[in-house]
Amino acid sequence: MTRMTLSAKGTASPDTVWQGYAGVDQWPSWSPQIKAVHSAGHRLSPGLSGTVESVAGSRAAFVVEAVDHDRRTWTWRVRLGRIQIRLHHEVRPQGRGSATSLTMHGPRLVLLAYAPPARLALHRLVQP
């Protein structure tokens, strides 16, 4: 297993960035690799589960493990077939805007393949 951290800084406020994460229906608006999110709930909460549909048509199952709305952090596990990755997200104030980071744990080749679209998504998330 490999660990990789990505980050982005932008002018969107920390609250705006957090709302982009917290409203799972909003994920496709800033994450170009996500076509749709299918889940019973619409807000991040521990135990929330569902599937993320990619623009390529694959569906990955997910379970949210932890959410701290006050600290603007959350962790989830995503599984596509036999491949599983764990992702931890954080949002922090940064100057007049915000910074977000994503720490991923999983198979090295999977993380290397996922890093470019994830990096693009993070940059889109922190822009107003």
Question: Which CATH number do you get for residue 109?
Answer: 3.30.530.20
Segments of the chain scoring below 50 in pLDDT: none
Confidence at residue 120, expressed as pLDDT on a 0 to 100 scale: 97
Instruction: Show the domain range for 94.
Output: 2-125
Computed over every residue of the chain, the mean pLDDT equals 97
Q: Token digits for 107?
A: 């198979």
Query: What is the sign, positive or negative, of the torsion defined by CA atoms of 116, 119, 124, 125?
Result: positive
Q: Please state the domain count of the chain.
A: 1
Task: Say what the pTM is.
Answer: 0.95
Do 16 and 10 contact (CB within 8 A), yes or no? no
Residue 78's pLDDT is 98
